[in-house]
Amino acid sequence: MCEAACPWQAAFLRFETTMADELEIAGKSFRSRLILGTGKYRSPEAMNAAFAAAGTEMITVALRRLNLESKEPSLLDQIDWQRYAILPNTAGARTAEEAVHTARLARAMGLSDWIKLEVIPDPRYLLPDPIGTLEAAKILVREGFVVLPYINDDPVLAKQLEEIGTATVMPWPRRSVRAREWSTSPRSGSSSNRRGCPWWSTPAWARPQTPHWRWNSAATPAWSIPPSPSPRTPP
């Protein structure tokens, strides 16, 4: 194949080669690093076509979006459970207590002991609550859940979550590369990969949008305040 004539195919093959090794989470192996959600598709057919085209092996489902009282087929009935691993998430939970309740509900429904943990107090900015996430993770790990927490790009929090026994950490991007560099540097004293806890960055196109606040691109994290008639305190 001519790389000059088909640059996108060549790029895909290089990516496929680098992803040839399997990713292991809690004793389960995956060839794909891509997790897809189930929201905002035009139809179940479009959703399943996206799953197949992406080659994903894990599908995340927000329990709060399911109508559990309806007798009509639900979103869960549209997914091939034999083909995809189902990863319930706690999207919509604003406190640690709500997140733990949602995880227990997923287990009671027979969905999975795996849970993508999200504690997001403000639906406008979608920034995870680090304290609430850590509190919920401690409870869920004690109860035997395989916890995949969604967090800020905070290497200190990531190490704390790893130490209490979460299966992964899933930081949102922007500074997540620096976080990975920090975790494997000699000064950190340890590596996040040492005990098999993957650092899994949320795709850039899925990161929260912050219309009134933006990250400064300097090496030191700082908030850059655009002109606003009513400035807000950064979260």
Clarify whether 28 is annotated catalytic: no
* Closest-CA residue to 36 (of 25, 27, 47, 44): 47
Among the listed residues 71, 116, 138, 159, the single catalytic one is 116
Secondary structure element (H or E) that encloses residue 181, with its range: helix 176-184
Residue 66's SS3 state is coil
Please give the Cα distance from 53 to 66 (Å, whole number). 24
Residue 58 pairs in a beta bridge with 35, 85
Burial state string for 148-172 with b = 16 or more CB within 10 A and e = fewer than 16: bbbbbbbbebbbbbbeebbbbbbbb
In angstroms, the Cα distances linking 167 to 14, 92, 127, 162 are: 28, 22, 21, 7
Please give the Cα distance from 212 to 204 (Å, whole number). 19
Please give the Cα distance from 124 to 129 (Å, whole number). 13
Secondary structure element (H or E) that encloses residue 25, with its range: strand 23-25
* Closest-CA residue to 19 (of 4, 28, 5, 29): 29
At a CB cut-off of 8 Å and minimum separation 6, what does 72 contact?
A: none
Active site residues: 116
